[in-house]
């Protein structure tokens, strides 16, 4: 049974929903799955006045636990076409793991959210994937065998680099069923690949 970590940062709750969908897909493939979030770095008063979702139940992740997983799937919102500073700060602490090659050969994946349809979904995914490569993980995306990313009858997230959603600048647009299906598909695919590699 592969052991999968879904690691996320979510301001408005969209990535939190996507994280649970990724986990559902991985569990469907028979994996043991843990969901963890990175710490919030925004002051409490700013987070409250910005209407951040502050009741997220996932435990806070620790850098030293990353090496206990066969696969790590990272999700975050977007800031100017790149990952959030909260996720970047967490990943910046993985230097000791990198130095030891502790994550070499493990499976990785990325999922993201942007305010707008063209707000940097793929560049944000690549900012995560770049970290995965540097840490020695093998990135696995969302293949076109997930037909939902080829839909033309609705505005929808999703790319071959990872599942995505669109939140609107105020967080008012909710994750669609098609976007959740993409996240589940990717989670299952990553777990299947990890199982093939690690048994």
Binding residues for FMN: 10-15, 78-80, 134
Annotated binding site for substrate: 98
Which residues, including other chains, have CB under 8 Å from residue 83's CB and lie 6 or more apart? 76, 112, 124, 127, 128
Annotated binding site for NAD(+): 12
Neighbours of 17 (CB within 10 A): 21
Whole-number Å distance between alpha carbons of 129 and 74: 9
Q: Are the beta carbons of 166 and 120 closer than 8 angstroms?
A: no
Q: Are the beta carbons of 2 and 31 closer than 8 angstroms?
A: yes
CA angle 143, 151, 5 (to 5 degrees): 40
Q: State both tokens at 67.
A: 């090496």
Annotated binding site: 10-15, 78-80, 98, 134
Partnered with residue 79 across adjacent β-strands are 82
Q: How far is C-alpha 59 from the chain's CA centre?
A: 15
Among 83, 29, 18, 23, which Cα is nearest to 53's? 18
Q: State both tokens at 170.
A: 């105020």
Strands 71-79, 82-83: parallel, antiparallel or unpaired by DSSP?
Answer: antiparallel
């Amino acid at each position: 049974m592969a052991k999968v970590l879904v690691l996320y940062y979510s301001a408005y709750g969209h990535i939190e929903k996507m994280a649970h969908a990724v986990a559902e897909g991985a569990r469907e493939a028979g994996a043991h799955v843990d969901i963890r979030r990175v710490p919030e770095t925004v002051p409490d008063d700013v987070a409250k006045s910005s209407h951040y979702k502050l009741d997220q139940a996932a435990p806070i992740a620790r850098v030293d636990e990353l090496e206990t997983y066969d696969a790590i799937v990272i999700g975050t919102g977007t800031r100017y076409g790149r990952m959030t500073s909260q996720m970047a700060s967490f990943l910046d602490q993985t230097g000791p793991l990198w130095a030891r090659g502790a994550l070499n050969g493990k499976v990785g994946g990325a999922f993201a959210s942007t305010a707008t349809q063209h707000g940097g979904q793929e560049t944000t995914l690549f900012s995560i994937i770049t970290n995965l490569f540097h840490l020695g993980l093998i990135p696995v995306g969302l293949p076109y065998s997930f037909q939902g990313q080829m839909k033309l009858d609705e505005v929808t997230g999703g790319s071959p680099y990872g599942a995505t959603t669109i939140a609107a600048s105020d967080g008012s647009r909710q994750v669609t069923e098609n976007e959740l299906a993409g996240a589940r598909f990717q989670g299952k695919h990553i777990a299947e690949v990890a199982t093939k590699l690690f048994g």
